[in-house]
Amino acid sequence: MMKGQKLKIAIQKQGRLHEGSAVLLKKCGIGFSNGFGKLKSEAEDFPLEIYFLRDDDIPNYVGDGVADAGIVGENILAESPGKVETVERLGFGRCRLSLAVPKGLDYENVGNLAGMRIATSYPHILQKFFDSKGVKVDIHEISGSVEIAPSIGLADAVCDLVSSGSTLFSNGLREVETVMQSEAVLIARPDLSAELAAVLDQLLFRIRSVMAARENKYILLNAPLDRVEEIARILPGMKSPTMMPLAEPGWTSIHSVISEHDFWEVVDNLKRAGAEGILVLSIDQMIR
Ligand code: PRT
Ligand code: ZN
């Protein structure tokens, strides 16, 4: 494996997806250096070559076969769909592409925007959105600082990426419509050689283990033996909870894995059922 071909993966050089992409690869046990100004880096212990690029360029590099795979926001893919396959959603870089209007503007539905000038860096996605609603607008493509367009008289409304909403708020804009939801995704060329497809599969296996771990917690607790049955019902675990006797007679320690989503509810129920000394740990990888 180490001697064969290397999979070339493109990640954002700097910006909002850089950190998440680099941390994900590192959690997959893939070590690499990304020194300032570096264009590419070889992984130390995995047949991977990492390219550092601008996010907008990643789908094209992968589509043209310069890179084999990449990590990019769905918003970028949707704006310029190319010859790439989406392999996995990665659960970070979450945001939404939204329409926003000046605070004072009356807004009830998209029909209110008919005939207006709308500034955006996502003209294709936005055109499709308005076509699907049967509303005609005047789309102005601008490449950055979309949020200031209304205040300088360049547009009546905007369509931009939003995460916390504070940029819109501080520019006197009100979010009125979600055009699309987005998160980082792993993309790949559809025509990978069998050898590189196998490397991608191996990488994907690790990525899925890291993502599964992120959504789960390891829980340890002590319980009186006469409460074990009730507690086991609250803790489904991966198969069934592990039990280990405590030195104190009549007590046992119980270990299990719980989902982060209903975490607090489970902990409350455990306490009510008589669990004590509850410890919760995060998990690095979870192999299924
Ligand atoms: O240099 P390069 O071209 O690679 O980077 P870039 O400046 O084009 O992109 P970058 O780093 O800003 O964003 C990369 C990707 O991160 C985007 O394509 C999205 O997939 C994702 N992402 C997630 C976001 C945001 N959240 C986000 N909030 N991208 C941009 N924003 C901007 C938004 O445009 C607005 O200016 O943040 C501002 C809004 O944020 P809030 O928190 O105030 O709502
Ligand atoms: Zn960009």
For the CA of 144, the nearest ligand = 1
The 10s digit of each residue's pLDDT in 226-248 is: 999 999 999 876 677 889 999 99
Side-by-side strand order, sheet with 40-42: 40-42, 48-53, 7-12, 69-73, 184-188, 85-89
pLDDT of residue 261: 86
Both ends of the chain: CA-CA distance in Å?
A: 23
The best mutation among 54, 75, 98, 163 to test binding of ligand 1, ranked by most ligand atoms within 8 Å of the C-beta, falls on 163
Cβ neighbours for 36, distance < 8 A, ≥ 6 positions apart = none
pLDDT of residue 36: 72
pLDDT of residue 268: 94
Residue 28 structure tokens: 């997959």
Atom of ligand 1 nearest to the CA of 15: 11
The 10s digit of each residue's pLDDT in 114-170 is: 999 999 999 999 999 999 999 999 999 999 999 999 999 999 999 999 999 999 999
pLDDT of residue 288: 78
Ligand 2 centre to CA of 25 (Å) is 21
pLDDT of residue 34: 78
Pocket of ligand 1 (CB under 6 A): 12, 15-17, 54-56, 73, 75-76, 93, 95, 160-167, 182
Residues with pLDDT less than 70, the chain? 1-3, 237-238
| Sign of the alpha-carbon torsion through 14, 75, 21, 39 | negative
> Measuring from atom 33 of ligand 1, which residue has the nearest CA?
161
Atom of ligand 1 nearest to the CA of 54: 4
Delineate the domains of the chain, giving CATH numbers in brackets.
7-92+183-213 (3.40.190.10), 95-182 (3.40.190.10), 216-282 (3.30.70.120)
